[in-house]
Amino acid sequence: MKEFGDMPIEEFKKIGYEFIDWIAEYLQTISEKPVLSQVQPGDVKRKLPNEAPLDGEAFDKIFADLNQIIIPGMTHWNHPNFMAYFNSTASGPGILAELLSGAFNINGMLWKSCPSSAELEEVTLNWLKKMLGLDNGFWGIIYDTASTSTMHAIAAARESIDDYKIREKGLAGRDDIGSLRLYASEHAHSSIDKGAITVGVGLNGVRKIPVDSNFSMIPEKLREAILEDKSKGFKPFCVVATVGTTSSTSIDPVTEIAKICKEEDIWLHVDAAHAGTAAIVPEMKWLMDGCEFADSIVINPHKWMFVPIDLSVLFTKKRDVLRRAFSLEAEYLKTPHNADVTNYMDYGIQLGRRFRSLKLWFVIRYFGVNGLIDRIREHLRLGRLFSSWIEEDERFELLAPVPLSTTCFRAVPAFIKTEEELNIFNENLMNNINSTGRVFLSHTKLNGKYTIRLVVSGIRTEAKHVEEAWQIIQEEYQKLVR
């Protein structure tokens, strides 16, 4: 007779203990692995069968394939020498919370569908709001990533144009309204463009504003663009200011931008996805200057607060507008409590919602506010330390200010005279550094210059790892020069 139902509890316990041991060993020995996967395209797929197994397989076999096929194809984001992009490292308490979240397997669409999920989200986001120094006028909601948070902010900005009645009439095929215009700096994240595409504004509706020598938006250029567009019949409706751009972590002058938005009655959204978390550090509170005037702000605890990906927070002062943009109440979702509780399904495109607040709660409680501050403060110190090495070495140069822990630099060998040759040299240098498997860096382009980026934000990254990265950079530089 066939057995039905789930994995037997005794088997689950046995494998579960082995699984925790495996994760613990993985985290303990992760620095011994190549940080960047060394496989070639297709290597993983070729080792996996084309058809799913007809009968269940033993966990021993699954574990074996995990170790022999999956692990070699992993780029280890939890590695202390992962210094590319904006690192998202998972801390121990966050990992345990993810395990619990999977075990609970709730759908937090309604308060009724899981009261603890709804109310814990309110509590933890109020904690985070106070940690960041935001005033009580802001209300928060958890989404998956900053791209989703920003898209919802843009949708709310669009909904705030009362006379356009976009919720009812949409945008397509209308000749009774002007085309919408959204503004962001030349260095704004690509999620701004994707959000504009998603909500029907389109790429032609996004206008990029020039930046200064520090790669920060120039407010006067924003003002000029808005006035010019209004004279041509466009409807300016949203400005996105960035606190910590993706390329260089430059900071837009939010206070000045906010003044323009207020004068022109335009929604101000602040993208502080990476840098915002650093504002919990007392001496970094200035990062939030001007954000008190914003209509919405996005901050990602999964970027620099050691919460496993994904967890992004949107704070807004226009909660009612966000709800108006998305709220639909099907009969089967009506409950006697709806008027007295927060049903998070009303504030976004998702109906189903994971128990994400659990891992934020675990992380804040385990480390404490002071523990998180100390860790981020150390990353800031290490970022400044690395940038000082670049400044002091005539073989290299900084290509952007270092307000946080991201250093943008390049090599400048004396024998290379043209920008094109410098770009080629630095691209080869970064590729050679990454091919060692000992450290992982990423790149951007600033003023046409190929720029290597080193980011210190991983919870396992210590001074010795930054020193090792600097040693590898110098070694590969010397090899390339020879």
Instruction: Provide the mean pLDDT of the chain.
Output: 95
Is residue 28's pLDDT more than 80? Answer: yes
CA distance 252 to 241: 6
What one-character DSSP code corresponds to residue 84? S
Is residue 107's pLDDT more than 90? Answer: yes
pLDDT value of residue 1: 55
What tokens does 427 get?
């691209």
Work out the average pLDDT over 334-346: 88
**Higher per-residue confidence, 175 vs 100:** 100
Is residue 465's pLDDT more than 90? Answer: yes
- Write the DSSP string, 309-346: S--EEEEES-HHHHHHHH----GGG--TTTTTS--GGG
Is residue 243's pLDDT more than 90? Answer: yes
Percent of the chain surpassing pLDDT 70: 100
Confidence grade of residue 249 (pLDDT, cut at 50, 70, 90): very high
Q: How many CB atoms lie within 10 A of CB 283?
A: 9
Confidence grade of residue 101 (pLDDT, cut at 50, 70, 90): very high
Work out the average pLDDT over 169-185: 90
Contact 170, 200 (CB under 8 A): yes
Work out the average pLDDT over 357-375: 98
CA distance 215 to 18: 50
Beta bridge partners of 443: 452
Shortest CA distance to 146 belongs to which of 276, 319, 286? 276
Lowest mean pLDDT, pick from 1-10, 230-239, 374-383: 1-10
Contact 317, 296 (CB under 8 A): yes
Percent of the chain surpassing pLDDT 90: 92
Is residue 214's pLDDT more than 70? Answer: yes
Could you report the per-residue pLDDT of 191-212, keeping only the tens digit for each? 999 999 999 999 999 999 999 9
- Write the DSSP string, 366-384: HHHHHHHHHHHHHHHHHHH
Distances (CA, A) of 181 to 157, 213, 232, 341, 473: 11, 26, 11, 35, 44
What tokens does 402 get?
């270092």
CA distance 312 to 188: 18
Is residue 331's pLDDT more than 90? Answer: no
pLDDT value of residue 2: 64
Distances (CA, A) of 389 to 192, 441, 453, 460, 474: 34, 17, 14, 21, 11
Backbone angles phi, psi at 238, to 5 degrees: -155, 140
pLDDT value of residue 91: 96
Could you report the per-residue pLDDT of 399-436, keeping only the tens digit for each? 999 999 999 999 999 999 899 999 999 999 999 999 99
Length of the chain: 482
pLDDT value of residue 334: 83
Lowest mean pLDDT, pick from 282-296, 316-330, 396-410: 316-330
pLDDT value of residue 165: 87
Work out the average pLDDT over 242-253: 96
